[in-house]
Amino acid sequence: MSLPQLFHVVTAIALLLVRCHAGDKHERLPDKPGQNGLPGKDGRPGLKGDPQMQGPPGPLGAVAHLPGKDGLPGPQGPRGEQGKKEERGPPGPPGLFPSLHTELQETLEGLKNKIAKLEGVLGLDGTVTKFGEKIFATNGQEVDFQTTLEVCKKAGGSIASPRNEGENNAVFSIVKLYNRYAYLGIKGNGMPGEFSFVDGRALNYTNWLPSEPNDTGAENCVEICTYGSWNNTVCSHDRLTICEF
């Protein structure tokens, strides 16, 4: 066999081997995965790290403690030395003149009386009317003559005692509003037909009904009627309470 023929034969065999090897590569099935091995042993501890800078402090605790109780008082200390006496200061402003002082006191007393009147009126908690310097008020209750005296005194006033036509009309306005008779601060003196105010003063004004007073010995109290005139009557009836301040 000549050299060129031998070259062709070797080349053909090489190509055949390459094709066979390529075919085996495509047709081979994948291998199954192998089982996991046992865990290995822990390695030796590493070298200790270098110390770092200290971090900032953490926040304070959220729970606040209650303050403790006060301790017992300690012993009294020694008394200090007496201070140095200084020079006397200048005199103060002059006081009020005696006359001005008296006038101021009278004004204050007047204000106190007015306040006391208003407190008594408000305490009755009823109808109020005024004439001149007097205030007339009622609590709307009907009681006998003696109880009327006590109620008005407790309120800081006295039973209504009109001493002129204007005051009588003021009392009458309350009587007419309630449509009830009311006692007046007038009482019999024990003699037929003789009457005076409960404070002992003589009557300087009257408004009797015709033929009144017709005292028979038992009618020692005076009432104001729903038409404004006066009538003497027994003191045990219940009449509207009207006080003056």
- Residue 46 is predicted with a pLDDT of 66
- Residue 218 is predicted with a pLDDT of 83
Is the Cβ–Cβ distance between 174 and 136 less than 8 Å?
yes
> Residue type at 28?
R
Quickly tell me which residue has 């038409």 as its tokens: 227
- Residue 75 is predicted with a pLDDT of 82
- Residue 35 is predicted with a pLDDT of 67
Q: Largest Cα–Cα distance in the chain?
A: 193
Is the Cβ–Cβ distance between 215 and 128 less than 8 Å?
no
Is the Cβ–Cβ distance between 124 and 133 less than 8 Å?
no
C-alpha distances out from residue 155 to 117, 137, 152, 180, 199, Å: 8, 10, 5, 21, 17
- Residue 57 is predicted with a pLDDT of 65
Written as one string, the DSSP assignment of 37-70 is PPPPPP----PPPPP-PPPPPPPPPSPPPPPPPP
Reported as half-sphere exposure (CB side, CA atoms, 13 A), residue 243 has a value of 31
DSSP one-letter code for 202? B
Instruction: Return the SS3 of 129.
Output: strand
- Residue 111 is predicted with a pLDDT of 63
The C-alpha atoms of residue 41 and residue 238 are separated, in whole angstroms, by 118
Please measure the distance between the N-terminal and C-terminal CA atoms of the chain and give it in whole angstroms.
167
- Residue 26 is predicted with a pLDDT of 44
Q: Which residues of the chain have pLDDT under 50?
A: 18, 20-28, 62
The C-alpha atoms of residue 19 and residue 160 are separated, in whole angstroms, by 147
**Both tokens assigned to 112:** 């106190």
Whole-structure pTM value: 0.54
DSSP one-letter code for 190? S
Is the Cβ–Cβ distance between 132 and 150 less than 8 Å?
no
The C-alpha atoms of residue 78 and residue 152 are separated, in whole angstroms, by 63
**Both tokens assigned to 175:** 């009587």
- Residue 98 is predicted with a pLDDT of 60
The C-alpha atoms of residue 117 and residue 133 are separated, in whole angstroms, by 11
> Whose CA is closest to 194, among 162, 236, 227, 222?
222
Instruction: Return the SS3 of 160.
Output: coil
